[in-house]
Chain A
Amino acid sequence: MPLNKEQIAQRIAKELRDGYYVNLGIGIPTLVANYIPEGVNVVLQSENGLLGMGPFPFEGEEDPDLINAGKQTVTTLPGSAIFDSAMSFGMIRAGRVDLTVLGAMEVADNGDIANWKIPGKMVKGMGGAMDLVAAAKNIIVAMQHTNPKGESKLLPKCTLPLTGVGCIKKVVSDLGVFDITPGGFVCIEYAPGVTIDEIKAKTAGRLTIADDVKEMAV
């Protein structure tokens, strides 16, 4: 069975290490915060200008002056810090954020990513995505392996306008975990019940299967 969104988030959470500063994008990436392993302390960065983002407030305690980059009401934690948006992107550019997790419409086997614009449709904007992908040291993409028509979103070359070039290191899809190397996608884990043949059939970009490929522990 392909992974559901929660399971994709759960798998990505295993990449977290104690002491990491992490920026989580909107959608599946946000769910990663629910699966931070025990004993691992991470600090969540919200690019509007908050380090140490806490959980949603209790009902009745929402503060309109305290939101995250998705414009949701949030809270601070002991040790939180607030700063302006220039400093926020400054710390991202300077490589201080250890891990960025974001969604994508397409990823290419050279690490290019497209996630902000579909020609012919209303373009809402890139927000902070271009800054994050250009600068973050380590970027994991959380995505569905195929589009609703069943076509691969892991491609030899992105067809949509790019968000960043050669920047993605790892993809966790509903079918498996893929490192991006100079040789293209390398499948290092497959979802329980998903076959290598299915992964091969649904991956349009260059793909190799790691010698020590294993079933994902979910």
Chain B
Amino acid sequence: MNKVVANADEAIKDINSGATLMLGGFGLCGIPENCIAALVRKGVNNLTCISNNAGVDGFGIGLMLEQKQVKKMISSYVGENAEFERQLLSGELEVELIPQGTLATRCMAAGYGMPAVYLLAGYGTEVADGKEVREFNGKNYLMEYAFDSDFAIVKAWKGDTTGNLVFKETARNFNPMMAMAGKITIAEVEHLVQPGEIDPDHVHVPGIYVNKIFQGANYEKRIEQRTVRKRS
């Protein structure tokens, strides 16, 4: 079994216009930089993107927005992007905002084979509009469906040729659940290693969920909010 592809362009070659994609990352942390660049090069459009955030101007999903490749964003927070705002206000871009934990859990449900889950978040708010409400132990829950996504594109720190993935620090964020949730999952990794080089006890996402993997290159890892303290 060899899931390795040469590069991002080969990894995303089956993604066509109109596809639904999950993209891992939180802010600009742990985003699949190489695949985003390849999607921009390929020029596919009318994409529905499920991602916690929508990048910033000039980086991350912001690059796809600039090329007007995104038809709809499904996110929890989209505040950092002027081009995003322009497209939203002009009606070019559709946005569905959903609570962050609900977003994460709807990915998780897909990866665990559960069609729906009951969640507290958003009960009594406009997020609940049109959703089934069910009471458990005196509390009201919304029924939330598992996501149905054609592809999941994730970024891991290390992966082996069988697709086992290890994430680093908070670059883990949405990547594991999305890796488990895509019909086809593409993983780009900073370090591609041979089977046996990752301790089985240290695998975060087992390779059964991963269809394609490649060694990424030239990671920029842009920092959104650089905060430091002075040395005393």
**Interface: B100 (CB within 8 A):** yes
Specify which chain A residues have a CB less than 8 angstroms from the CB of B125 in the assembled complex: 130, 161-165
User: Most chain-B Cβ atoms within 10 A of its Cβ — which of A48, A58, A122?
Assistant: A48
Known: A70-B225, A72-B225. A125 touches B231 (CB 8 A): no
Which of A59, A123, A126, A128 meets B228, CB within 8 Å?
A59
Q: Which residues of A have CB within 8 Å of B103? A: 85
Please tell me the number of chain B residues within 8 Å of chain A, measured between CB atoms.
57
Question: With A64-B221, A73-B227, A88-B104 in contact, do A124 and B78 touch (Cβ < 8 Å)?
Answer: yes
Given contacts A67-B27, A84-B175, A86-B105, A55 and B77 within 8 Å (CB-CB): no
Of B14-22, B37-45, B116-124, B130-138, the one with at least 4 CB within 8 A of chain A: B116-124
B229 and A55 contact, CB distance less than 8 A: yes
Contact A84 B176 (CB under 8 A): yes
List, in ascending order, chain A residues with CB within 8 A of B228's CB.
56-62, 73
Contacts of A125 in B (CB 8 A): 75-79, 97
Q: Which of B104-150 contact A (CB under 8 A)?
A: 104-105, 107-108, 119-127
Q: Are the CB atoms of B29 and A71 closer together than 8 Å? A: yes
Measured CA separation A88–B177 after assembly (Å)? 12
Given the interface pairs A59-B231, A67-B29, A122-B88, the reply to whether A84 lies near B173 with Cβ below 8 Å is yes
- Tell me whether B93 is interfacial, beta carbon within 8 Å: no
Interface centre among B100, B127, B222, B229 (most CB of A within 10 A): B100
Whether B85 lies near A122 (C-beta < 8 A) is: yes
B162 part of interface (Cβ distance < 8 Å): no
| Contact assessment for A65 and B105 in the assembled complex, using a CB-CB cutoff below 8 Å | no
Check if B151 is an interface residue, CB within 8 A of chain A: no
Docked pose: A94 CA to B95 CA in angstroms = 29
B163 within 8 A of A: no
Identify the closest chain B residue to A133 (Cβ): B121
In the complex, what's the smallest C-beta–C-beta distance from B158 to chain A, in angstroms? 12
Is A47 an interface residue, CB under 8 A from the partner?
Answer: yes
Determine chain A's interface SS by DSSP, over half rule: loop
Would you call B123 and A86 a contact (CB within 8 A)?
Answer: no
Residues of B near A65 (CB, < 8 A) are: 29-30, 157, 168-171, 221
| Residues A130 and B121 in contact in the complex (CB < 8 Å), given A57-B228, A73-B228, A89-B105 | yes
Could you say which residues of chain A place their CB within 8 Å of the CB of B226? 62, 72-73
Instruction: Decide yes or no whether B172 CB sits under 8 A from chain A.
Output: yes
Q: Tell me which residues across on chain A come within 8 A of B195, comparing CB atoms.
A: none
Most chain B beta carbons < 10 A, residue from A47, A84, A129, A135: A84
How many whole Å from B120's CB to the nearest CB in chain A? 4
Q: How far is the CA of A50 from the CA of B168 in the complex (A)?
A: 12
Inter-chain pairs besides A48-B173, A126-B100, 15 sampled, C-beta below 8 Å: A49-B170, A49-B173, A57-B227, A58-B229, A58-B230, A67-B170, A72-B225, A85-B101, A85-B103, A85-B104, A89-B101, A126-B97, A128-B100, A130-B122, A131-B120
Chain A positions near chain B (C-beta within 8 angstroms): 46-50, 55-68, 70-74, 76, 82-86, 88-90, 92-93, 112, 122-131, 134-135, 161-166
